[in-house]
Structure 1
Amino acid sequence: MVTWNIATAEPPEDVTSLLHLDVQHPTDLYVIGLQEVNSAPLRFISDMIADDSWSLVFMNTLAPRGFVKVTSVRMQGLLLLVFAKQIHLPFIRNIQTTYTRTGIFGFWGNKGGVSVHFSFYGHMMCFLNCHLAAHMNYALQRVDEFEYILETQEFDIPDTPQVLDHKVVFWFGDLNFRIADHGLHFLRSSINSGRLNLLWNKDQLIMMKKKELFLQEFEEGPLNFKPTYKFDLNSDSYDTSGKKRKPAWTDRILWRIKPKSPPPEDDDEKASTSTDDGQDEYPVLVSQDTYTSDMSYGVSDHKPVIATFSLELRKCFETPLVHISPLGVWSADQDVLLNYTIQEDFMFSTWDWIGLYKVGFKSASNYETFVWVRENDLPEINEVIQISVNKDKIPVLGGQYVLGYYSTNMQSLVGLSTNFQVGSRRATMEGLVPEILNGLSK
């Protein structure tokens, strides 16, 4: 997970360090929350037509490594992106996004929260990226804004209509909490000497957690990294301008596991056995492995904060909703066939479609071509349905591809084929690829 207030800057060319791609540990999901993305009117309109520059740099970096953008949500300068390894895509379902404005009387989206909710192997998860009110004296307002976001954000899922109904919630962003009382000299000397612990008891978020019960349900790792605000641009030096803003841990990542339901009272009207919504049978454990900042990036007056988590969970299901596969050899020289089978009942739609994706694709919309699923009567469970694809829709250059069934209602790919080869004699004849004879290019 990454949170970064980018202060309207353009992305750096290399985000390897930011995404910990140079660290050897298995990653399955990336969740990236940005604040203050450039949202000047002309820029915002162009970003609505095409992907913004930050989304592009993350997609271009992660797609070759097998990560696909699951979804994103944007509200003015707030942007939230979720990426997953291709193997997990059929098990990320019921994707929904929403947002809440809190800035300037709630009409302008310069402050507030954007969130993504989905089912991950049957476990309901929510990721909430916030940018809360600034300045030292507004700690109570920040708490009120967060509470307002939690109360107003709603999802069209019966069991999890609001954020706190989810089994796992990650709350992160530029939360703007400051370090109270301490003077600038004491702050800087504590930071320079590495005695960060001297500042924790005056961190406004830590102080507020002691007063607000709903905040106590959120966990956070120790702040063993330097405060991430406010820096001179392209520098490791804290603010040297006339304002000399006091350093603060404005950028944070917290998480919450849904508390277990209290057991019912043991009386004549209620059962004496405890029900826990399946949490005992299908538990989720979250442990934080790292919580740090990356001082190497200087395009903003904030430094990015990165956390890595291990999720230990029992999968509620391990079978994709749709099984899909190519039939025979696929090439641009002839019409080709595919089979798909609905393996479990779900909200099928005649607007569902099957896309042909080049391996390393960036998102569900990044297909080479697509075909609509059967338009008339709904398919039966386990019925094998065959679809023909016109040869003119098949990429002439060929390569490694995968088929994906996209559910319009679930907003996700609910079935993926194994990778397969697409070839073409036409490409060889037209000199687009070399002819291979006895293992050698001719």
Structure 2
Amino acid sequence: MSTPGMETMEQNDNEGDNFRLHLVTWNVATADPPVDISSLLHLESPKGPDVYVFGFQEVYSGPLRFMSDVVFDDPWSHCLMTTLAPWNYVKVSSIRMQGLLLLFFSKLEHLPFIRDIQATYTRTGIFGYWGNKGGVSIRLSFYGHMLCFLNCHLSAHMNNATERMIEFEYITDMQIFNCEKAQRILDHRLVFWFGDLNFRIQDHGMHFVRTCISDQNYSLLWSKDQLIMLKKKEKLLQEFEEGPLHFQPTYKFDLNTDLYDSSSKKRKPAWTDRILWRLIPKALSSDKQEECGDRSDANNVGQPEEAKKSILELSQDLYTSDMQYRISDHKPVIGIFTLKLKKMQTTPLVHLLAEGEWSADIDAMLVYFPKQPFPSSSWDWIGLYKVGFSSVFDYITYTWVKDDEVAVDEEAIKVYMSKDEIPVRGGECVLGYYCNTLQCIIGISEPFKVHASKVAIEEGLVPEKLRSLH
């Protein structure tokens, strides 16, 4: 399935690069992840996604579990990190507000071009203080284009459609980012809005709704879907697009079944779980729609203003539910998009490499080369990661850039790393430069081998088949 604009995208491939975005929203009803989540991820597709974004609602947040999740990764984050890391995906950012969880993963190759990351949340629950309802968001610059992802859980029940709209407007007004040129959600060039939005199918009776679902005549229900109805009169909603609802309503099911609610309440099925987007056309955007944290790009210097105009187009390739999961009374919804853009950055801000031979037997030296000016600080650090690391903070060790500098010239800066911090068993590793101001990794080295220490080999800590490699 595609939306209007796909033809234009295919005709103008030479004007930009295509990226695949894979979004999932799921109200998990406090359940832990199933054993197999591969169906949600489409990892076996010919071209894997460049970016994954997951929005969960009603993640279990009992007092003991919630305190544990503050220190350790929650089960959903851990499951996705463990599953995606072998495929070379890294968790770039996440934010949680009680049961609301938002996760952003990227292919490793894009990491140095995802910058100025900020995340925030807004409560709309009981008296505006309880975090059971509201919105969590992550904003970032992707190759110089400002994107924002908003995961919401809005008020429930049939008669609260207007309240849901008020909550959405409140969230978009209240969330403020430390970015002069995109302080609010709607200042971003591209916004994805998704979650358990809780809009229902009104007027139609239960028998008619269930008959339409049984016969797969979903279009007969669209005219009474509250979100579609509100779009006809709410100007803000008219700015958002959504693909056709060519899948059965995702709420409410009996647990561990594919049967709609058979309890005494017999809630009417509804498309409560949705994915929408808002793209500001190039003609309506201004120069303010550039990255706020990093404004220097050597590739743009001296170019005419017209050449700097950014290409940003979006088409939806798939919008569906995944009916095989039964752990919740909701079914997950998947949206897959092709994002076409002209890269505003093509060079990492720093280039990194490991100098000489690395092992736990000797102190090591790394070198980084600033390729462009960037807002460095005394809180910047360089991490040593195993190849296949799962998140930005999944490092083996790190060294403070400013504290451990040992040599500086006009082009290269050398930084010391103690042998005591290097893994004795060795392995394939990479280095990553983390810029605290931009809240992201701005440079990744090529993989290199860290040799096992002599002590590790002598004590049998290295498997026999790997000893010859050292």
Give the TM-score band, short-chain normalised: over 0.9
Residue from 394, 410, 418 that aligns with 2:438:
410
1:166 maps to: 188
Taking structure 2 as the reference length, what is the TM-score of the superposition?
0.87
Unaligned runs of 5+ in 1: 265-276
**1:211 alignment partner, SS class:** coil
Cα displacement (A) at 1:325: 0.5
1:145 maps to: 167
The C-alpha deviation readout for 1:134-183, integer Å capped at 9, x for no partner, is 00001111111101111111111111001111011000000000001000
2:461 maps to: 432
The C-alpha deviation readout for 1:37-80, integer Å capped at 9, x for no partner, is 11122221111111111110011101111011001000111000
Cα displacement (A) at 1:202: 0.6
**2:40 alignment partner, SS class:** coil
Output the amino acid matched with 1:27: P
1:102 maps to: 124
Residue from 62, 75, 78 that aligns with 1:56:
78
1:34 and 2:56 correspond: yes
Number of residue-to-residue matches in the alignment: 429
Taking structure 1 as the reference length, what is the TM-score of the superposition?
0.93
Output the amino acid matched with 1:219: E
Cα displacement (A) at 1:410: 1.2
Cα displacement (A) at 1:262: 5.4
Is the 1:342–1:382 Cα contact (8 Å) retained in structure 2? no
User: For the structure 1 residues 345 and 286, does the alpha-carbon distance in structure 2 shift closer, same or farther, using more than 3 Å as the test?
Assistant: same
Cα displacement (A) at 1:375: 3.5
2:139 maps to: 117
Residue from 205, 219, 232 that aligns with 1:197:
219
1:356 maps to: 384
User: For the structure 1 residues 146 and 312, does the alpha-carbon distance in structure 2 shift closer, same or farther, using more than 3 Å as the test?
Assistant: same
Root-mean-square deviation (CA), in Å?
Answer: 2.3
**2:232 alignment partner, SS class:** helix
**2:253 alignment partner, SS class:** coil
**2:328 alignment partner, SS class:** coil
Unaligned runs of 5+ in 2: 1-22, 287-304
The answer to which of 15-24 and 180-189 deviates more is: 15-24
User: For the structure 1 residues 260 and 285, does the alpha-carbon distance in structure 2 shift closer, same or farther, using more than 3 Å as the test?
Assistant: closer
1:343 and 2:365 correspond: no
Residue from 282, 298, 314 that aligns with 2:326:
298
Cα displacement (A) at 1:22: 3.5
d(CA) in 1 for partners of 2:310, 2:357: 42
1:16 and 2:41 correspond: no
1:324 maps to: 352
Residue from 381, 385, 395 that aligns with 2:423:
395
The C-alpha deviation readout for 1:105-127, integer Å capped at 9, x for no partner, is 21111111000000000000000
2:11 maps to: none
d(CA) in 1 for partners of 2:184, 2:359: 48
d(CA) in 2 for partners of 1:97, 1:440: 47
1:420 maps to: 448
User: For the structure 1 residues 194 and 382, does the alpha-carbon distance in structure 2 shift closer, same or farther, using more than 3 Å as the test?
Assistant: farther
Residue from 46, 60, 77 that aligns with 2:68:
46
The percent identity for this pair of structures is 59
Output the amino acid matched with 2:193: W
Is the 2:404–2:416 Cα contact (8 Å) retained in structure 1? no
**1:99 alignment partner, SS class:** strand
The answer to which of 191-200 and 14-23 deviates more is: 14-23
The answer to which of 337-346 and 17-26 deviates more is: 17-26
d(CA) in 2 for partners of 1:57, 1:315: 32
1:249 and 2:271 correspond: yes
d(CA) in 2 for partners of 1:260, 1:416: 32
Is the 2:189–2:285 Cα contact (8 Å) retained in structure 1? no
Cα displacement (A) at 1:23: 3.0
d(CA) in 1 for partners of 2:83, 2:134: 28
d(CA) in 2 for partners of 1:359, 1:376: 24
2:17 maps to: none
User: For the structure 1 residues 57 and 381, does the alpha-carbon distance in structure 2 shift closer, same or farther, using more than 3 Å as the test?
Assistant: farther
Cα displacement (A) at 1:99: 0.6
The answer to which of 104-113 and 18-27 deviates more is: 18-27
2:412 maps to: 384
The answer to which of 309-318 and 387-396 deviates more is: 387-396
Cα displacement (A) at 1:263: 10
Cα displacement (A) at 1:292: 0.5
Is the 1:234–1:298 Cα contact (8 Å) retained in structure 2? yes
**2:121 alignment partner, SS class:** strand
**2:230 alignment partner, SS class:** helix
Is the 2:117–2:141 Cα contact (8 Å) retained in structure 1? yes
**1:161 alignment partner, SS class:** coil
**2:213 alignment partner, SS class:** helix
Query: Counterparts of 1:189-228 in structure 2 under 5 Å?
Result: 189-228=211-250
d(CA) in 1 for partners of 2:468, 2:42: 39
